[in-house]
Amino acid sequence: MSSPEPSSEASPDEFAAWMSRAHPDVARESALWRWHRHDFEHAAVTDLTSIRPPAEKWISSNWTRYSDVAAQTEFCSVPLSVRLDRHAGELHKGQKQLTHAFASVQLAQVAVETAPIVELLRHGMVDTDDVLPQPGSRYRLTLDEAAGLAHLLLLAVDVARAERSQ
């Protein structure tokens, strides 16, 4: 009966113990030893629940996006939004209601990266009957880029308000 392979998180000592049980005739640090070590260190199977960023309290399991590509798995916050009254929404004529266009902001962390990003997305109507994310309106900003944009937007508001009050 063969010994179960060590996980990719196994320590060097755990790997050595496994090698001595599973392949006792392979010399330590030989080419074949290094071959097996590379195989276990670069496992092709990843348990996606094991790559959850540590201690990120903003992550919502309801908004996490899993993918068959690890670099596309994202741990996300609940999106927050602001209404955009100058953009096309969806008019429900029979119900006399309007679904407004909106911009959403969401934190996300790609599973294989170490820092979160801020995603900004505009939702509205273009060539559909629904309020949907608009092509070309998705911005994925580093934290520094998001802070820079936020400061610039606030500066623009301050300048416009100061000009109006004079």
The pTM for the full model equals 0.61
Residue 8 has pLDDT above 60, yes or no: no
> Of residues 40 and 162, which shows the higher confidence score?
162
**pLDDT band at 156, cuts 50/70/90?**
very high
- Please tell me whether residues 7 and 64 are part of one structural domain: no
Is the distance from CB of 108 to CB of 127 less than 8 angstroms? no
Can you give the pLDDT at residue 65? 83
> Of residues 34 and 53, which shows the higher confidence score?
34
Can you give the pLDDT at residue 52? 56
**pLDDT band at 57, cuts 50/70/90?**
confident
- Please tell me whether residues 6 and 61 are part of one structural domain: no
Please tell me the total count of domains within the chain: 2
- Please tell me whether residues 34 and 71 are part of one structural domain: no
Is the distance from CB of 66 to CB of 107 less than 8 angstroms? no
Q: pLDDT by residue (tens digit) across 100-115? A: 888 899 999 888 888 8
User: 82: domain range?
Assistant: 51-165
| 141 CB-contact burial (10 Å; exposed 0-12 / middle 13-18 / buried 19+) | middle
> Of residues 128 and 136, which shows the higher confidence score?
136
- Please tell me whether residues 28 and 67 are part of one structural domain: no
Is the distance from CB of 107 to CB of 117 less than 8 angstroms? yes
- Please tell me whether residues 38 and 58 are part of one structural domain: no
- Please tell me whether residues 14 and 35 are part of one structural domain: yes
Q: Give the mean pLDDT of the chain.
A: 79
Average pLDDT score over residue span 24-53: 73
- Please tell me whether residues 56 and 134 are part of one structural domain: yes
Closest to 115 in 3D by CA, of 138, 81, 144, 139: 144
- Please tell me whether residues 30 and 98 are part of one structural domain: no
- Please tell me whether residues 10 and 34 are part of one structural domain: yes
